[in-house]
Structures are given as C-alpha cells and as structure tokens.
Homo-oligomer: A and B are copies of this chain.
Amino acid sequence: MVTPGLTGGTLDRADHLRNDSEALVAAMSNGRARLMKLDGLHPEVSEDGRLGWTTLADAPDDAMLILLGLDESARPHFAAYLPGTRAAEATPMRSPAMIHALTTLQPGEAATYAAARSLIDWHSRHQYCANCGTMTEPFRAGWARKCHHCGAEHFPRVDPVVIMIAEHGGRALLGRGKGWPPGRYSALAGFLEPGESIEEAVAREIHEEAGVRVSAVRYIASQPWPFPSSLMMACVGMAEDDTLTVDPHELEDAIWVERDVVRSVLAGEPGPFLPPPPYAIAYTLLREWAGV
C-alpha cells in the first residue's frame, strides 16, 4: 500500500456528532478536549514531529470551534477559527517556516493539520453566500456554512488536481514551474475541470503543458494538499512520442529523465534535478515509478 505524505491521520472524524447539537455541546464541555495550537495558521511541532495541543480554555472568546474528530480514547479535538482573520496569507506554502513544519511533522500529524488548515482558510474566504451575497453562518461543527437569507448550504471546497508523469522509453517527463528553486524539477500538475475524468485531465494537462499525447493513464496514489484545499491525484501516462513543445506560460523547462537517474536522485545522489520533498506526492509518484 502506497502511503504518501499528509495521509494517515488517526482522528475519527465523527460525522455523526456534527449535526447533533447536544453531543457537540458535550464535546466542547469535555475537560479533556484539545485545541490545536496555531500561531496564525502555523502549527506548533515537537521534536518528534507531533502537533502541539492545548485546552479549549485557550480559545479566544469569539472563536468558532471546528470539530476535527475524536482520538482512540474518544477525546474531542478542535481547531479554532477567528472570524474576519486571514491567517493563511501570513503562512504561505513556500515560507521557510511552513516548509520546516511539513518536513518535520509525521505524515499522520500533517494530515490532521491539513484538515484544520483547509477548513480555517475556507471559512476565512467564504463568509458570504455565493448564491445571494448575504453573510453566512457556520454550522455542522464548522464543516459547513448556511445562508439564513436564501437557505443555501455551502460545504468546504476540495479541488481535485491531477499530478503526473508521462513515460516514454523508460524515461519520465519532469517539468519546472516559474519561480521554483534552482534545479528543482517535478511531476506536471493542474486542476481537473468540470466534465472530465481523472484520466482525461491527465492527458489534457500533459498535452497543454508539454505538447505530449498520452494514453493508458494509470492511477498511483492521492493525498490532501492544504494550500488551500486540493486533492492531489498522482498518475502515470504512456507517451506516444517524446517530442516536447513546452508552453512557456505553464513551464520554464521540461526534461526526460532515465529511470536509473530518478532512482539515484531519490537516493540522494547528485543528478540533473533536485527531487521533490518527501511530503509531496510527486516524491511518492517518482518512487513508485522508479520502483524504489
């Protein structure tokens, strides 16, 4: 079983509690309840890669509590969102502190953080009803918002993203985006659109970005990616030929890399590219493809 970074969270999401206001009040009154320690949206991370938690007493008075779930001892775990704040903007994905946190957190802990971060960020950018423009209110323990004007219910977005390599003659197609760290190459990626399957989105994106036609797309693995709330779906497609026509709006460069070279780069040897970080599913995808 493939286990990408940011998967393996151990909290039971306890969906049945979200609509049960009595149970929810009990969970919030539970003296053992824990609140995720966040500085803005930056998590506290211990030396052994675990998240920091405090008690609900530390939640600001006007905070909204999001029920993340229950641990094995049925202890409720929450995250707090302060209406009107924009914590995500202060802790972007590429900040050194965020990269340090993602590098240090155990995958299951990062998964719990990912759920909290995506939800808090979603609330901060979705306070109004897209249907009628009225201010909405959170409900379902922070897992939805409701418009009391038009009655519309809004649920957190999860945006499916395909991330993939094309394969040709035992080589993988890697690309680099504009502004990436020097030497970094990775799998191509793009948002899946309405009206297409995963396999069709993979073929479209590889053709748009690199001019390569692929078929026989196979799914490898998936992971949540909380910047702000993507579902990364990693695939491999077999390329019909290896001629590249790079779209300069999408990619700065694209290269074909032999399987042996991918393997040695992932093993830490110097090579023609710097590999993606282990918490990114591109790393898992390359490992699976290279048979590491």
Contacts and interface: CB of A to CB of B under 8 A. Distances in A.
A9 interface: yes
A247 to B, nearest CB: 8
A133 to B, nearest CB: 4
A127 B125 contact: no
Given A128-B130, A133-B134, A194-B115, A208 B15 contact: yes
A222 B194 contact: no
Given A159-B158, A193-B115, A200 B7 contact: yes
A196 interface: yes
B118 A127 contact: no
B224 A194 contact: yes
| A111, A115, A156, A194: residue with the most chain B Cβ atoms closer than 10 Å | A194
Given A195-B224, A197-B224, A198-B231, 7 more contacts: A7-B200, A9-B200, A119-B194, A126-B131, A158-B159, A192-B231, A194-B224
Nearest to A281: B197
A197 B7 contact: yes
Given A125-B131, A132-B128, A13 B193 contact: yes
Copies of this subunit = 2
A57 interface: no
B229 A194 contact: yes
A115 B231 contact: no
Interface string A117-149: 011001001111111111100000001000000
Which 4 pairs of residues, A with B, have the shortest CB-CB distance?
Answer: A115-B195, A118-B194, A128-B133, A126-B130
Contact of A223 (B128, B193, B197): B197
Contacts of A122: 194
A157 B160 contact: no
Contacts of A112: 195
A198 B122 CA distance: 20
A192 B157 CA distance: 10
Contact of A222 (B4, B119, B197, B223): B197
